[in-house]
Amino acid sequence: MARALSHEIVIVGGNFAGLSAALELPAACDVAVVDPHPWFEWRPNIHELVSEVKKPRDLRLPRRRIVEEAGHRFLRDRVRGFDFARRSLQLGGGRRLDYETCVLALGGVSNDFGVAGAAANAMSFKTVDDCAAIGRRLRTLAGEKRALSIVVVGGGFEGIEALGEVLRAYRRRPDLEIHIVEMAPRLMADGPKAIDAMVRRRIADLPVRIHCSETVLRVTARRVYLESGRRLPSDLTIWTAGARAAPSLDGAAVPRSRDGWIKVGRDLACRDLDGVFVAGDLADPPRRFAKQAYHAIDMGRHAARNILRRRRGEDTLPFAPSDKPMLLAFGDLDTFLISGSRVVASPLLAAAKEGVFQATIAGFDILRSRAGRQRAGGRGLRALKNLVLPKFGSARDLVGLLSLRVGGTRG
Ligand SMILES: Cc1cc2nc3c(=O)[nH]c(=O)nc-3n(C[C@H](O)[C@H](O)[C@H](O)COP(=O)(O)OP(=O)(O)OC[C@H]3O[C@@H](n4cnc5c(N)ncnc54)[C@H](O)[C@@H]3O)c2cc1C
């Protein structure tokens, strides 16, 4: 039998929350990060893979090198079993991994809510691989000489970003029809009301049909069936309708919310379990806030600081989510800056979104190394070529770019 591994601090999941926790812990701590995937993935921009203005390499960093540069150990493996009572994890490769303190940062996966045929016939929209596959499939379909129908399920921020990228790449293709289906009475139901009207204005002349207050009952290879009895033809169904906790935790003895997220106290320590902190999308804190990468980064750092406080015999501190505005992209048609109930819209804001991406991903990269500097330079040049320069294609585009609109009132 393989020898058991043991580390003082084990971080399960090495993306935004897990990697931020690892980078916050000094090299003097005995830390291991476990993740089955070799790449750190920048998920907030994966919609841009749908139009192929970004390539997978723009959104990925080598996870092992980043963890090792921080003085820690990277284990490329999947945790399959959680024995919190024994402080022991079962790795997919067969080994046992014991810990004193564990940070759970496994994030979530796409949730099809058990809709018949969704798993087999709809493409999920959660990871770099998912969105790169959607981009390739769209390119193939668009090259075929026939009418094309695309259905986006979910009209939240992911659905709006997916729709925007399909329009960026293919809105001039003849015989294209796009449907977006949302259960709530309007798009972006958990955000400001103004977004729905702003998106509708932008697509007024485009071949898009919005179906709000509609539930998907069944998905087949060629159709999406709605509860109202409508059937939408679909050559490609993109599923953005929800998320649930990573399935590896199913069956683990840990307090969960109804949708599977792990209940934590205000200090991100897991209730009723010693030595377990939870950070990022997986955490269900007493006061809920949006599952966003910038919160996941802050939570990872906060969990690490609380672990260090406990080791020094100090009290842990509560986590306070920062009140950052959110940038929602709508392809090259518009970008929305959302702050509480206020919205500012302008295609020029795409540059701000790209700036946040370039600066934050560079913050995770190994800029001390030549390879890291080359990656950062390559990302910047490709963004200039694919995102910025095409915006200055015509005088009409330039006038459109300068339009700035303000909306208000949360619904
Ligand atoms: C399309 C889209 C657009 C988004 N746009 C934005 C945006 O504009 N702004 C923003 O701030 N946020 C955005 N988000 C949300 C953001 O991506 C998430 O909040 C963020 O990824 C959460 O980080 P995390 O570290 O908690 O989890 P994740 O990023 O999901 O990482 C979880 C990690 O855990 C690993 N893992 C899973 N199971 C196991 C296991 N059993 N063993 C070991 N490792 C495991 C996974 O491989 C993964 O690396 C967007 C998300 C999507 C999908």
- What are the pLDDT digits (tens) for 59-114? 999 999 999 999 999 999 999 999 999 999 999 989 999 999 999 999 999 999 99
Write the residue with the smallest CA distance to atom 35 of ligand 1.
13
- Find the helix packing angle between 157-170 and 128-143, rounded to 10°: 40
Q: How confident is the model at residue 1 (pLDDT cuts 50, 70, 90)?
A: low
- Find the helix packing angle between 16-24 and 293-311, rounded to 10°: 40
Global confidence as pTM: 0.92
Strand extents, DSSP E, 265-310: 276-278, 283-284
Q: Is 353 in the pocket of ligand 1 (CB under 6 A)?
A: no
- Using CB atoms within 10 Å of the CB of residue 356, give its burial: 0 to 12 exposed, 13 to 18 middle, 19+ buried: middle
Q: Is 158 in the pocket of ligand 1 (CB under 6 A)?
A: yes
Q: What is the secondary structure of 186-197 as a DSSP string?
A: SSSTTSBTHHHH
Q: How confident is the model at residue 388 (pLDDT cuts 50, 70, 90)?
A: low
Mean pLDDT, the chain, integer: 92
Strand extents, DSSP E, 36-105: 39-41, 60-62, 73-76, 79-83, 88-91, 96-104
The answer, yes or no, to whether residue 187 has pLDDT greater than 60, is: yes
Please tell me the distance between residue 386's alpha carbon and the centre of ligand 1 in angstroms. Answer: 25
The answer, yes or no, to whether residue 398 has pLDDT greater than 60, is: no
CATH classification of 5-36+77-110+243-311, choosing from 3.30.2350.10, 3.30.70.260, 3.55.50.30, 3.50.50.60?
A: 3.50.50.60
Q: What is the pLDDT of residue 395?
A: 46
Please tell me the distance between residue 15's alpha carbon and the centre of ligand 1 in angstroms. Answer: 6
Give the three-state DSSP class for 171: coil
- Residues 38, 20: Cα–Cα separation, whole Å: 16
Say if CB 180 and CB 210 are below 8 A apart.
Answer: yes
For residue 21, give the nearest of 104, 95, 78, 92 by alpha carbon: 104
Say if CB 10 and CB 276 are below 8 A apart.
Answer: no
pLDDT digits (tens, 9 = 90+) for 156-186: 999 999 999 999 999 999 999 999 999 999 9
Please tell me the distance between residue 219's alpha carbon and the centre of ligand 1 in angstroms. Answer: 26
**What is the share, in percent, of the chain residues with pLDDT greater than 70?**
94
Q: How confident is the model at residue 411 (pLDDT cuts 50, 70, 90)?
A: very low
Please tell me the distance between residue 162's alpha carbon and the centre of ligand 1 in angstroms. Answer: 17
Q: What is the pLDDT of residue 384?
A: 76
Q: How confident is the model at residue 390 (pLDDT cuts 50, 70, 90)?
A: low
Q: How many helices (H) and strands (E) does the chain have?
A: 10, 25
Please tell me the distance between residue 85's alpha carbon and the centre of ligand 1 in angstroms. Answer: 27
Q: What is the pLDDT of residue 243?
A: 93
Q: What is the pLDDT of residue 121?
A: 98
Q: Is 293 in the pocket of ligand 1 (CB under 6 A)?
A: yes
Q: Is 36 in the pocket of ligand 1 (CB under 6 A)?
A: yes
Q: What is the pLDDT of residue 404?
A: 60
The answer, yes or no, to whether residue 401 has pLDDT greater than 80, is: no
Joined tokens for residue 347: 């295609």
Strands 5-12 and 223-226: unpaired
pLDDT digits (tens, 9 = 90+) for 4-52: 899 999 999 999 999 999 999 999 999 999 999 999 999 999 999 999 9
Write the residue with the smallest CA distance to atom 9 of ligand 1.
44
Please tell me the distance between residue 17's alpha carbon and the centre of ligand 1 in angstroms. Answer: 8
Please tell me the distance between residue 107's alpha carbon and the centre of ligand 1 in angstroms. Answer: 5
Q: Is 183 in the pocket of ligand 1 (CB under 6 A)?
A: no
Write the residue with the smallest CA distance to atom 53 of ligand 1.
126
Joined tokens for residue 53: 């203005």
Q: What is the pLDDT of residue 409?
A: 47
Q: Is 292 in the pocket of ligand 1 (CB under 6 A)?
A: yes
Nearest ligand 1 atom to the CA of 107 is 27
Strands 108-110 and 223-226: unpaired
The answer, yes or no, to whether residue 399 has pLDDT greater than 70, is: no
For residue 364, give the nearest of 279, 265, 294 by alpha carbon: 294
Please tell me the distance between residue 325's alpha carbon and the centre of ligand 1 in angstroms. Answer: 19
Please tell me the distance between residue 237's alpha carbon and the centre of ligand 1 in angstroms. Answer: 22
Mean pLDDT of the region 261-279: 95
Dihedral pair phi/psi, residue 68, rounded to 5°: -70, -35
Say if CB 215 and CB 227 are below 8 A apart.
Answer: yes
Mean pLDDT of the region 388-411: 54
Q: What is the pLDDT of residue 104?
A: 98
Joined tokens for residue 318: 């509560």
Two domains, one topology: 5-36+77-110+243-311 and 118-239: yes
The answer, yes or no, to whether residue 406 has pLDDT greater than 80, is: no
For residue 12, give the nearest of 248, 243, 342, 361 by alpha carbon: 248
Other Cβ atoms less than 10 A from the Cβ of 30: the count is: 16
Domain parsing of the chain, residue ranges? 5-36+77-110+243-311, 118-239, 326-407
Q: Please, which residues have CB within 8 angstroms of residue 41's CB and are 6 or more apart in sequence? A: 15, 59, 60, 127, 128
Q: Higher model confidence: residue 352 or residue 119?
A: 119
Q: What is the pLDDT of residue 372?
A: 82
Nearest ligand 1 atom to the CA of 43 is 17
CATH superfamily label, 118-239: FAD/NAD(P)-binding domain (3.50.50.60)
Nearest ligand 1 atom to the CA of 108 is 30
pLDDT digits (tens, 9 = 90+) for 188-247: 998 999 999 999 999 999 999 999 999 999 999 999 999 999 999 999 999 999 899 989
Q: Is 248 in the pocket of ligand 1 (CB under 6 A)?
A: yes
Handedness of CA 128, 131, 135, 136 (dihedral sign): positive
Say if CB 105 and CB 283 are below 8 A apart.
Answer: no
The highest-confidence range among 165-174, 245-254, 256-265, 284-293, by mean pLDDT, is 165-174
Q: Is 14 in the pocket of ligand 1 (CB under 6 A)?
A: yes
Please tell me the distance between residue 21's alpha carbon and the centre of ligand 1 in angstroms. Answer: 14
Q: How confident is the model at residue 410 (pLDDT cuts 50, 70, 90)?
A: very low
Burial string for 49-73 (b: 16+ CB within 10 Å, else e) reads: bbbbbbbbebbbbbbbbbbebbebb
Q: How far is CA 93 from the centre of its chain?
A: 27
Q: Is 154 in the pocket of ligand 1 (CB under 6 A)?
A: no
pLDDT digits (tens, 9 = 90+) for 287-334: 999 899 999 999 999 999 999 999 999 999 999 999 888 899 999 999
Give the three-state DSSP class for 334: strand
